[in-house]
């Protein structure tokens, strides 16, 4: 059956697209919702997280999620690359990530902004690391009421299934947080003190269940197709629009090449921070700020040895605070040296650290579209121009110093391993490309309800709409913002009939 009309068409099946579907269904039970996904369904259950699969099945699912690189097994890390990473130099293997593909046309080298993406039902929501921290006050949207934002974040926790302390009673991790608290807690508000990292986990006697987009969609996955349908391996080539109204979408089957149009009352573009702007651009919707202010959290890694007895099951988190003294979000967790790609001599309890550094959003850092060269979906290909500036460099060096301080607070740095900045793009937190604004003044793409300026029924979603300087994992933040946009769509109840299609 070819769907020709829907009240709401959602392009993208990741966490924000799934949130739009779930909240619209909650507030508008009669809505007919069509979700479009360029990649295949890779798991037996819709939106199941790949970490819940047996190893062989997970590998197969990752290979199928690689878009234009579908089925390609990337070359494993070499000893030379591993030694370069240990020395704090460029490790090219970090630009070959199973389950993802390099979406931009830039040569993957030391200077590149790596624009990774996934293409499968569930998107990054079936591969994410499940961290659910809340943004600090300054990271939140300043023109959204504080109480409204807090309520939306609580809803995001419910949708994601956030567990504030998934491993209570982990004595080693509690001791780690006690020591870190002595150094970093003074002067911090209670909600920004050292704490367990909230994770989208259900812990059972058999092990951990990591939540994917199945947790967001809930019972919607069992609805009849005339009410909710996901079209896998179907790309959206164009958002159709006329006189400031989105009228539908033009779709193409990635298997047969057949194309058709679907009329829609509302269109939601939830196709990630790179492909969302790409679709708008390819549709002739080109606000001045589209694709600009792209930024990603710079990621600093450090391994160290602690005298704290394991197991260190619980992940610890040092949150970002609202001043320039600590523009970082830090995760710390026990590590298994057996998972290193090559044998290393490790004596003691190994700990890994990921320190996320806030980047400086600048309009000149942007996606550059190429109308002459099309990508695997038939849309304009793109490159990314986002060099590091002096503000970034200063924060990165501060971050490295903080990483060393944390390592010496808890133990000693692992011999033979430097404090290293991972290649730009590896945090997968690309932001700013469809940024939200308070006024239609050319510096933003959408309003506080995520509606594209000049449209009443075209919404955008994902990390790209974040307009602030952040260091915190953005997933709960963008799910919260998506829930606000979804409520607006449900209030409007714009329908389209099959006859009109």
* Residue of 295, 208, 26 whose CA lies nearest to 18: 26
Closest among 191, 462, 467, 472 to 357, alpha carbons compared: 472
Which residues fall within 8 angstroms of residue 57, CB to CB, at 6 or more apart?
A: none
How far apart, in Å, are the Cα atoms of 187 and each of 104, 178, 192, 217, 357?
Answer: 42, 16, 10, 40, 21
Question: Would residue 297 show up in a list of annotated catalytic residues for this protein?
Answer: no
Q: Are 434 and 272 in contact (CB under 8 A)?
A: no
Indicate which residue of 241, 275, 429, 459 is catalytic. Answer: 429
What count of other Cβ atoms lies within 10 Å of the Cβ of residue 376? 16
Return the closest-CA partner of residue 117 out of 106, 127, 107: 127
Q: What is the largest CA-CA distance in the chain?
A: 71
Are the C-beta atoms of residues 268 and 461 closer than 8 Å to each other?
Answer: yes
Positive or negative: CA dihedral 176, 177, 181, 182: negative
Tokens of 43: 């798991």
The DSSP 8-state label assigned to residue 431 in this structure reads B
Over its C-alpha atoms, the chain yields an Rg (Å, rounded) of: 22
Q: Which among 256, 275, 276 is positioned nearest to 2, based on CA atoms? A: 256
CB distance 152 to 481 below 8 Å? yes
Structure token pair of residue 381: 């290909």
Is-contact 367 291, C-beta < 8 A? yes
CB 333, CB 435: distance < 8 Å:
no
Candidates 313, 208, 236, 277; CA nearest to 9 is 236
Q: Are the beta carbons of 242 and 284 closer than 8 angstroms?
A: no
Enumerate residues 6+ apart whose C-beta is below 8 A from 145: none
Closest Cα to residue 414, out of 488, 321, 458, 350? 350
Q: Please give the backbone phi and psi of residue 169, each rounded to the nearest 5 degrees, phi first.
A: 85, 10
* DSSP category for residue 446: B
Q: How far apart, in Å, are the Cα atoms of 343 and each of 346, 411, 492?
A: 9, 22, 59
CA dihedral 125, 130, 131, 134 (to 10 degrees): 50
Task: List active site positions.
Answer: 429
């Amino acid at each position: 059956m070819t769907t020709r009309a829907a009240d709401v068409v959602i392009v993208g099946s990741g966490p924000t697209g799934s949130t739009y579907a779930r909240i619209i269904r909650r507030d508008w039970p009669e809505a007919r919702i069509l979700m479009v996904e360029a990649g295949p369904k890779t798991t037996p259950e819709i939106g199941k997280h790949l970490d819940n699969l047996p190893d062989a099945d997970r590998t197969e699912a990752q290979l199928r999620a690689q878009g234009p690189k579908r089925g390609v097994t990337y070359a494993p890390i070499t000893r030379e690359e591993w030694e370069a990473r240990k020395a704090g130099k460029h490790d090219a293997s970090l630009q070959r990530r199973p389950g993802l593909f390099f979406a931009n046309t830039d040569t993957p080298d030391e200077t590149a902004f790596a624009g990774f993406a996934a293409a499968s039902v569930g998107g990054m929501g079936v591969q994410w690391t499940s961290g659910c921290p809340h943004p600090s006050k300054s990271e939140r949207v300043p023109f959204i009421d504080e109480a409204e934002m807090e309520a939306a974040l609580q809803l995001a926790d419910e949708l994601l299934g956030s567990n504030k302390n998934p491993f209570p009673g982990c004595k080693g991790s509690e001791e780690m947080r006690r020591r870190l608290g002595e150094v970093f807690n003074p002067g911090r508000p209670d909600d920004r003190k050292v704490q367990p990292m909230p994770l989208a986990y259900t812990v059972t006697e058999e092990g951990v269940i990591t939540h994917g987009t199945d947790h967001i969609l809930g019972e919607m996955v069992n609805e009849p197709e005339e009410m909710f349908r996901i079209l896998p391996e179907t790309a959206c080539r164009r958002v159709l629009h006329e006189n400031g109204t989105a009228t539908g979408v033009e779709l193409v089957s990635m298997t047969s090449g057949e194309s058709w149009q679907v009329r829609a009352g509302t269109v939601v573009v939830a196709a990630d921070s790179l492909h969302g702007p790409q679709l708008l651009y390819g549709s002739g919707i080109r606000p001045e700020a589209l694709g600009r202010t792209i930024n990603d959290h710079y990621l600093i890694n450090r391994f160290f040895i602690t005298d704290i007895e394991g197991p260190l099951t619980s992940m610890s988190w040092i949150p970002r605070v609202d001043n320039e003294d600590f523009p970082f979000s830090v995760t710390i967790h026990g590590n298994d040296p057996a998972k290193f790609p090559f044998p290393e001599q490790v004596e003691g309890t190994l700990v890994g650290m990921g320190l996320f550094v806030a980047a400086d959003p600048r309009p000149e850092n942007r996606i550059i579209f190429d109308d002459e060269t099309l990508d695997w979906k038939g849309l304009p290909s793109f490159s990314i121009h986002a060099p590091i500036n002096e503000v970034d460099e200063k924060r990165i060096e501060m971050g490295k110093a903080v990483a060393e301080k944390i390592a010496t607070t808890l133990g000693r740095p692992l011999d033979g391993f430097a404090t290293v900045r991972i290649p730009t793009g590896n945090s997968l937190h690309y932001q700013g490309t469809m940024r939200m604004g308070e006024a239609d003044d050319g510096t933003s793409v959408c309003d506080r309800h995520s509606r594209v300026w000049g449209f009443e029924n075209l919404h955008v979603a994902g990390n790209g709409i974040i307009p602030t300087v952040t260091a915190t994992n953005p997933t709960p933040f963008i799910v919260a913002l998506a829930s606000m946009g979804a409520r607006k769509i449900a209030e409007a109840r714009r329908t389209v009939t099959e006859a009109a299609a």
